[in-house]
Structure formats: structure tokens, C-alpha cells
A and B are shown apart, each in its own frame.
Chain A
Amino acid sequence: MTTTYLDHAATTPVRPDAFDAMVPWLRERYGNPSGSHALARAARKAIDEARDVVAECLGRMPREIVFTSGGTEADNLAVTGVVGQRRGAVVCSAVEHHAVLHAVEALGGRTVGVDPGGRLDLDELVEALDDEVCLVSVMLANNEVGTIQPVGEVVRLAREHAPGAVVHSDVVQAISWLDVADLAAEVDLLALSAHKFGGPQGVGALAVREGITLTPLLRGGGQERERRSGTQNVAGIVGMAAALRATVRERALTVARVTRLRDRLADGLTSTVAGCTESGDRSNKVAGSCSLLLADIETEALLVLMDQAGVCATAGSSCASGAMEPSHVLRAMGVSPELALGSLRLSLGWTTSEADVDRALEVIPALVGRLRDRSPLAVRP
């Protein structure tokens, strides 16, 4: 059975460029970049060059890039690192990834709501801002519904109403689709994760605007200019840079191609499956995002059947045990808990083909029909 992979928002296949770039650093080029001998210097050179690539793609200076173990660490370093230095209130959107949301909640922060399309309520943001606020965190693109947030506006409002605040943006889901260097040019901190754009899992970065000091999460050997101790993941960092370079190089073409595929998939499903609607406003979403709501369907069951048919997708976020959790994003958008049980996230990416969309359009309507036929509770459309 062939695999139809429609879960790129969870993770993406590793790009050949990234894989090839990593291999030497997992074999013969095994030096520790903190050392002084030839093997060490070679590793140091590799991460320095990778830092140049990441900085250029984000429109930052190389010394502003801190390599981390992934997006979650980058988000946590941003939130707790700023609060550790500045004290004060923390504000984030209600639809942040848990890596931001739980870090903000742990510090007693406030959340700002979104409209039914998933876009940040800027009036509510202004109300939440004052001189006490030390950090504002708003993601550029949402991981569940793909909504793009007006982070440029967020920066402008923060400078005006909370002049002491640092602005952070989680751009993990955005980087494959949007010109982050341009859209987030004024943002102080940017978090990204390699495996969302064809790099390996377990590596990410935080861009930290020059002049902003963060309290480190990890202390030790003082790597990454005292901002993130621990021997760098050399192969991972090299792979991330190669993947990012390829992503940015191909981005315009990929966006155009995947937008057409996504539109065909979303239109096909909403037109053939009764009670199927799109969550969020498609005109304000990243290209890879096709998030749907299916009336009278428990996605948890649908995903088992899709899995058996070789179609990989997800509902929303998962908890530690692997069970589906009700989505805080859909709740914030005002979707009823009953309807949220039927949330299906199909996410497309750089490898998605016409054949993948064909297969999804063949399998999903049939399986939804099967589940509705077998459910004694379903209201037949």
C-alpha cells in the first residue's frame, strides 16, 4: 500500500539536500565545534556557515542566531529568557502553539482572542498592552488551521502601547510558505524548527535581535555565545541550513503549486462530503493548510480508517499519551466542542503531488460515508 502523506504540519520528509549535507558530520567529520584541533575547527566552520545561511534566510545577522534543540526550546527560551531579564507581564495569542502557550501560562500571562477566522483581535491586543508588559508573542502562521497573523501590526501596536516589550513570533509553520524576513522584519525574536521544512527533527533556532539579552534555559559550557550551552548538533544544524536554503530557493514555486493542490483538495472535500466545512478563512492561510470540520464525525475514528487506507493526517494536537485532545485553537475561534470533535487537519508540503490529492479525494468521502452509516447517532444529511 502506498502512503499518502498529508501531515506536513506535524513533520516533513527530509530533503535530499539536507540529508546529503548531514552525512559527513555523522561519519568522518565528528569533531566537537568547541575544540581547537582540525576536526573541531571543521565542525566549527560548518556551524558558522550554517548560521550565515539561517541568518540570511531570516533577514538577520549571523550573531543573532542561536541554535536550539527545536522549535519548543526556541519558544521557551524566548518567553522565559525575556521574563528572566525584564520581569513584567506576558501577552500571547490564544492560538499559540503549546510551546508558547504553556510557557506563558506558567508565568501567569494573558491571552488575546481571535475572530472566527482565526485572526488575532487587534483591539483586544491593545487592551492587553500597557507599560508592565515585557513580552508579546504572536505566531506568524498557525499550526492547526494555518491562519496568518498580522505580526507587523502586532509590532507596531506593541511599540506604541507597551514600549518596553520584546516581540516574539513563532514562525515554525510559516517559513515554508511566507517571506519571514519581510513579514517579520520588525519582530525581535523568531523561533523556527528544522523538521517543518525538510530538515531533521531535534534542531531549531531562535533569532534574537542584537541588544536583547535572554536568561538562558541551559547553563554549562557557554556555547552559542552563552545563550544556549551544550555541544551543538552539528549534523542537525548543517541539515537545517541546507533544508532552509532549498526551501527559500523554491518557495515561490512550491507555494504556487501547493496552493492549487490545496484548493483542489479543500474544494473537492467540501463539495462532496455533506456537513464538511473549512475552518478559518482560506484567503488568510498558508498554502499547505487544509483544515476541515466534519459534522457528526469523530475524527479519532476517521483517522484510524484513513491510516488503514494509507492516508496520514491528524485531528489537532495530541497529548503525551497519544490521545486526541480537543483543540484550543478551534475553541478560541468559537467552534462548538461537538463540531471540534470532527476536526481534520490535512497539511500539504514540498513533496505533495496530484496523486496524493487524488487519493485523499477518493478515500476520505468514502470513509466518512462508512462511519456515518455505522453510527447510530449520526444525523444523516
Chain B
Amino acid sequence: MKVLCAMSGGVDSSVAAAMLLDEGHEVTGCTMRLWGGASDTGCCSVADVDDARRVAQQLGIDHFVFNFGDDFDASVVGPYVASHAAGETPNPCIECNRSLKFDRLLQRADALGFDAVATGHHAVVAHEGTRWHLRRGADRAKDQSYVLYMLGQAQLARTLLPVGRLTKLEVRRRATALGLRTASKPDSQDVCFITSQGGREQFLAERLSFTPATVVDTAGRELATVTAVELVTVGQRKGLGLAGGGVPRYVVDVDVAAARVVVDVAEGLLTDEVTLSTLCWVGDEHAPDPDVASPVPAEAFPVLAQCSAHGEPVAATFDPMTATVRFDKPSRRIAAGQSVVLYRNDEVIVGGVARRARSEAAQSST
């Protein structure tokens, strides 16, 4: 196959390109230039592009740089700021996968005549029966299927994730054996467009005006104030100006419109359910075979729900008609804007973005 391998300059995508070559594919490397501003951890700094290009040279494959900066601003950075402005807790890496890697880049690959796009994500794409499946990577600690839940049949049919079958240790061993310069490069951890020096606060301060807010308990008693309600996250305990020493209290609701943060004791942070928006079914209606019946079930069904990138999956029931996840045991509240991914065993079934809990929305309107 003619494969376009997205190379970030990290070890995983370096090894992915090498594995594809080994398997006999015709491989071209590319790096997306996404963010033009300050960055220290990003996948698009000049240093990372250099690393990607040098690995491509070492492997003897062509390497191109694509400037998707405008798309990144419009599809990732803009919505990230807007989501914070609405008091949510967005996950920009997921939006980047949704809009850039598996949309914009896939379109570019199509235009250039490539059969597939490959990345260095730790997850497994498999074709069984009549459809494509997305499963957890072999290395559970590094599994990234959570950030790929938006991939439907059309995308999976053209996506290769070669390192998903390896553990991270095996990836590094292969990189070392091949003498790749990225073999011992540390994993990137943070949001690529936010610097460790300035942080999220400075980034948002330059792009929106913060709203001072009162911190109240569930009875509405004012306990403290914060200078920026947009920086507060559900589940947060520190930085709220609450006196120490007492029973720990956690944020259970962020209400930008009312300029109010509600806190409660640990038990109050627990919830039975979360409702999702922007549902993405892996077995979606865009399946390449139109004769296959829609796999979207009408009845509620049992799932394992993962509520953050490295969160432990918990047993739950998902009702597709209301897009509601009901946890078997009370679970920590999910901040609005976070993605919840639902699995059957190790297989991604559906995912979506958590909505603000209804009961809290009702409270805020009083």
C-alpha cells in the first residue's frame, strides 16, 4: 500500500514508519505544522520537525511538512478557548485527532493518492467479518484508544496503527536496534500549544476575559471567591480560597453565567450518570458495506466507561436513546467537555463529550 505516515518527531511514529517499511509498504513521511505560537512540548516545534525529518532520512523515505495552522486554530484552539469560556474542561488532543489527523490529513492523503494514513498511536485497528474494530493497544499503560474514539468505519478503513501491537518497551527497543535518533526521546505529555512556563492560565488570559466568581456550598452559602471561573474544573479541590483544616470540599459545578462555583464534600462529587453529546460510533452508519445493518442498538447495554485518558474503566450501562451512561456504582462527576469512551471488553463501541449535569443546570437557572 501507499502509506502516508504522520511523524511527530517522537519515538512511536518513528518506529511506526520503520515497521510499515518492513512490511513492504511504500511509505512517505509527513509532519503537520499546527501551532505557530510558543510551545515547549509540542508536536510541531521546529526541533520536532527536525527529528521527524532526520528519522525519515535515516529510513530513506520522503518527508513533507504540511501547514495546517489555520485549521488547527479554527478546529482546536478556538473551541478549546470557547469551551473554557463556557466553564467546561476540554480535551484539545481529542479535537486535534478528530479534525486534523483523521480528517484534514486523511483528506490530504486522499488527494495525493495514498491508500492509508498511519500514526504512532498505541491502539489496534482490525478488520473482522464485515467491519473494522478499534481496540486497546497491547501496552495497557500506554493505550491511546480513548483519544481515537471518533474514528468511524470510513476512517478506520484507511488508518494503520502499527505500534499498537507493541509495548512501549518494545517500541524503544526497536528504535534503539534501528539506531533511530528518537529512541530515547521522552513521551510528550502536555497540550502542545501551552508552554510549561506560561501555563493554561496565561494562555487563556491572552484570549478571553476571566469572570470573578463566588464559591458556594450546596446550600448556597458563600465560602470564598475566585478570580477566574473559567479556570475551575469539576473535581478540583485546591486553589479555591477555602480555609484548610476542615472536611475537604470539591468543585461539583462550574456556572459561568451565574459566576458561581459550587463545592461539596467528597460524597457530593459522586454521581450515578453522565449524558453525552457528539456521539461517535465506531460501527457507524458510514460503514463501507451499506448492506450491513446499523450496529447502533436501541436498547441499553452494558459497557466499561473510561472517563479520562488514563482513567480506570468502570462498569456502566449505556442508553443510546438518551445518550446517558449509568454507572453501576456511583462514580466521580465528569467535567463537562471531557470525553467518555465506552468499551466492550477491549473494544471501543462509542464515545462522546460529557454534558453539564442536568440537575446542576436546573439549579443555576433559579
Q: Which residues of A line the B interface, CB within 8 A? A: 298, 300-301, 304-305, 307, 319-325, 370-371, 374-376
Contacts and interface: CB of A to CB of B under 8 A. Distances in A.
B321 interface: no
Given A319-B33, A320-B46, A325 B67 contact: yes
The residue among A300, A319, A321 with the most chain B CB atoms within 10 A of its own CB is A321
B46 A374 contact: no
Contacts, number: 42
Contacts of A375: 107, 111
B66 interface: yes
Nearest to A337: B70
Nearest to A377: B107
Contacts of A304: 64, 112
B53 interface: yes
Instruction: Please name the 10 residue pairs, one residue from A and one from B, whose CB atoms are nearest each other, closest first.
Output: A323-B67, A323-B33, A322-B65, A321-B49, A323-B65, A374-B111, A320-B46, A321-B46, A324-B67, A301-B111
B110 interface: yes
Contact of A301 (B45, B46, B108): B108
Given A300-B66, A300-B67, A304-B64, A322 B111 contact: no
A307 B112 CA distance: 11
The residue among A298, A323, A325, A375 with the most chain B CB atoms within 10 A of its own CB is A323
9 contacts: A300-B67, A301-B111, A304-B64, A304-B112, A321-B31, A321-B49, A322-B65, A323-B66, A323-B67
B40 to A, nearest CB: 15
A246 to B, nearest CB: 34
- Interface range on chain B: under 10, 10 to 19, 20 to 34, or 35 or more? 10 to 19
B256 interface: no
Interface of B: 31, 33, 44-46, 49, 53, 62, 64-67, 69, 107-108, 110-113
A71 B55 CA distance: 31
A369 B69 CA distance: 26
A316 to B, nearest CB: 11
A300 B46 CA distance: 18
A371 B65 contact: no
Contact of B44 (A300, A305, A321): A321
A298 to B, nearest CB: 8
B53 A322 contact: yes
B33 A376 contact: no
A307 to B, nearest CB: 8
A324 B69 CA distance: 10
Given A298-B108, A319-B67, A321-B31, 17 more contacts: A298-B111, A300-B67, A304-B64, A304-B112, A305-B112, A319-B33, A320-B46, A321-B45, A321-B65, A322-B49, A322-B53, A323-B49, A323-B65, A324-B67, A325-B67, A374-B110, A374-B111
Contacts of B46: 320-321
Contacts of A323: 33, 49, 65-67, 69
A305 B108 CA distance: 11
A307 B108 CA distance: 15
Contacts of A371: 111
A307 B69 CA distance: 23
A371 B64 CA distance: 17
Contacts of B110: 374
A370 B113 CA distance: 9
Contacts of B62: 307
A300 B112 CA distance: 10
A301 B66 CA distance: 8
Nearest to A320: B46
Contacts of B112: 301, 304-305
Contacts of A320: 46
A189 B112 CA distance: 46
Nearest to A318: B65
A320 B49 CA distance: 9
Given A301-B111, A301-B112, A376-B107, A321 B64 contact: no
A326 to B, nearest CB: 8
B263 to A, nearest CB: 45
A377 to B, nearest CB: 8
Nearest to B48: A321
Contacts of B66: 300, 323
A301 B53 CA distance: 18
B22 to A, nearest CB: 23
B54 to A, nearest CB: 12
A127 to B, nearest CB: 32
Nearest to A374: B111
A376 B33 CA distance: 23
A317 B342 CA distance: 46
A309 to B, nearest CB: 12
A331 to B, nearest CB: 13
Contacts of A322: 49, 53, 65
Contacts of B33: 319, 321, 323
Nearest to A375: B111
A216 B254 CA distance: 59
A370 B49 CA distance: 29
Nearest to A321: B49
Nearest to A341: B70
B49 to A, nearest CB: 4
A275 B200 CA distance: 44
A247 B62 CA distance: 34
Nearest to B36: A319
Contacts of B64: 304
A321 to B, nearest CB: 4
Contacts of A374: 110-111, 113
Contacts of B45: 321
